[in-house]
Amino acid sequence: MMSKNKKEKMAGKGLTRREFLKASAGGAAGVAVAPYFAPRLAYGQKPIHVRCHSIYGGKAAVLGRSVTDGVNMWKDEVNRKGGILGRHVVTSFRDTRGKTEEAVRLAREAAASGEVDLLLDSCSSREAFAVKEVSRDLNFIIIATNSKTTELTANPKTRAPYHFRSAAQNLHDMAAGAKYAAGLAKKHGWTKWATIAPDYAYGRENAMFFIRFLKMYFPEAEILMELWPKLWEPDFTPYVTKMLGAKTQAVFTSQWGGDVVALLQQGALYGLHEKVKIFSIDLGDFTAINPVIKAFGKLPEGIYMGTRANPLTPATKLNRDWFNGFKKTYGYEPSGWSQQAYSGLLFYQKAVEKAGSTDQKAVRDALAGLEIVAPWGSPPEQKLALRASDHTNILYTEAWGKTVNKMPYVADVLTLSWDDIFKAEKEYFKEKGWV
């Protein structure tokens, strides 16, 4: 049984991959976490086995930890209620190490094993596109819980029948975020804009969509520059000074994790967040908020941020209870990654119950077009849906607000309308020739 000190260390900062493996009793090669497996006859039937692939080492280790805890929170809730169709749920985890070839190898291994019923792909967009092809080749259900790149599910030429996405999507995030930013820009006359985003698919697509929709809602906006630091860039000084030198009034960034911390910390030396209005899609995640607070001693106020996995987004009892329950169990606040994995499993649970079995085709058919009630769902109904046409998650709470130095660190929260998001999406799909 795990000691109190070891649990506290896991919940705290600075957990290494070696410590994580040891503390969770993961001994097999490639296994990031090996939680307990109940006896096979716990409910008289073979358990339902959910496997999750993520990243458990390096600068992205926080991703793996928060996803794992989101998965196991769902598992424990289900098992306390008697399982699914009377069957116990077990979970296992594998470390892709952020490598596409390893993600594909592990996905094929899981799909062909005959022991795994569902695979959660909780890695990057780069890996998700390759893993999707495993789903297609082996007719095996894979739910992408992290990849937000729109192309993953939106392009009808590359959709896979057994592949689904419970993560948010860049187009939806930016249609909402740009409308929010445009409203403030009109009010205050912020016409001179810049973007700074990591130089890979996620960052490139986010910046493209933000510019597109900002100009749609606020044609007066002028994009002075688009900046592309590499992922895990150690020195943001040249980017900061370039924005300030051009008299930028407002900047959009999709830097995330340690990169948004570095941008703000280094920018503070030049008064960036005091001289330029910052709109950050990823600062609102506690995986960024907590390190920023550690770096500054407090959260800088007046930064506009997209917010998710927060008790105020939405401000409902269901969401507050989920947030507080996660924090009480694991000792830290959930992330958007925790939330997206948990939501994907709620979809799977309802689909299995609807299908009456874990048969891959039956569950696939049940997932397409499925609606659930979830903490992340838009109020008042709090529904999420896996849209039948492209197997992507919709109707989740899209909210932005302004940073304040008091838990939960956001004020003046505005929840954006999905009617506006769908209109923006329709126009983009029409241009692309996507049905």
Q: Among 35-44, 56-65, 124-133, 309-318, where is mean pLDDT lowest? A: 35-44
Radius of gyration of the chain measured on its C-alpha atoms: 21
- The answer to whether residues 92 and 141 belong to one domain is yes
Q: Which residues contact 219 (CB under 8 A, 6 or more apart)?
A: none
- The answer to whether residues 331 and 277 belong to one domain is no
- The answer to whether residues 329 and 215 belong to one domain is no
- Measured CA to CA, the distance from residue 339 to residue 376 in angstroms comes to 7
Sign for the pseudo-dihedral over CA of 334, 335, 336, 342: negative
Sign for the pseudo-dihedral over CA of 158, 226, 99, 17: negative
- What's the pLDDT band for 44 if we cut at 50, 70, 90? low
CA angle 340/100/336 to nearest 5° reads 15
- Measured CA to CA, the distance from residue 369 to residue 388 in angstroms comes to 4
Pairing between β-strand 192-196 and β-strand 222-227 as defined by DSSP bridges: parallel
- The answer to whether residues 151 and 210 belong to one domain is no
- Helix (H) / strand (E) element for 119: namely strand 118-121
In this structure, what is the dihedral angle of CA atoms 267, 279, 59, 65, given to the nearest 10 degrees? 140
At 387-424, the pLDDT tens digits run: 999 999 999 999 999 999 999 999 999 999 999 999 99
- What's the pLDDT band for 59 if we cut at 50, 70, 90? confident
- Measured CA to CA, the distance from residue 189 to residue 76 in angstroms comes to 51
Could you tell me if residue 362 is inside a domain? Answer: yes
AA letter at 370: L
- Measured CA to CA, the distance from residue 194 to residue 93 in angstroms comes to 40
Mean pLDDT of 339-368: 98
- The answer to whether residues 10 and 40 belong to one domain is yes
At 239-295, the pLDDT tens digits run: 999 999 999 999 999 999 899 999 999 999 999 999 999 999 999 999 999 999 999
DSSP state of 60: G
* Sequential DSSP letters for 279-334: EESSTTSHHHHHHHHHHHSSPPSS-EEEE-SBTTBT-SHHHHHHHHHHHHHHSS--
Contact 121, 100 (CB under 8 A): no
Its domain, for residue 196, covers 171-307+401-432
Residue 403, SS3?
strand
- What's the pLDDT band for 9 if we cut at 50, 70, 90? very low
Q: What predicted TM-score, i.e. pTM, was given to this entire model?
A: 0.89
Question: What is the percentage of the chain residues whose pLDDT exceeds 90?
Answer: 87
- Measured CA to CA, the distance from residue 110 to residue 390 in angstroms comes to 24
Could you tell me if residue 41 is inside a domain? Answer: yes
- The answer to whether residues 329 and 348 belong to one domain is yes
Which tokens go with 188? Answer: 């205050």
Q: Which domain CATH number covers 248?
A: 3.40.50.2300
Could you tell me if residue 100 is inside a domain? Answer: yes
Mean pLDDT of 77-92: 97
- Measured CA to CA, the distance from residue 122 to residue 337 in angstroms comes to 8
Total number of domains constituting the chain: 2
Nearest residue to 110 via CA among 90, 83, 135, 74: 135
- The answer to whether residues 140 and 28 belong to one domain is yes
Q: How many CA atoms lie within 13 A of 355 on its CB side?
A: 20
- The answer to whether residues 284 and 353 belong to one domain is no
Could you tell me if residue 312 is inside a domain? Answer: no
pLDDT, position 126:
87
- Helix (H) / strand (E) element for 222: namely strand 222-227
- The answer to whether residues 334 and 201 belong to one domain is no
Residue 341, SS3?
helix
Nearest residue to 350 via CA among 369, 371, 365, 375: 371
Question: What is the percentage of the chain residues whose pLDDT exceeds 70?
Answer: 90
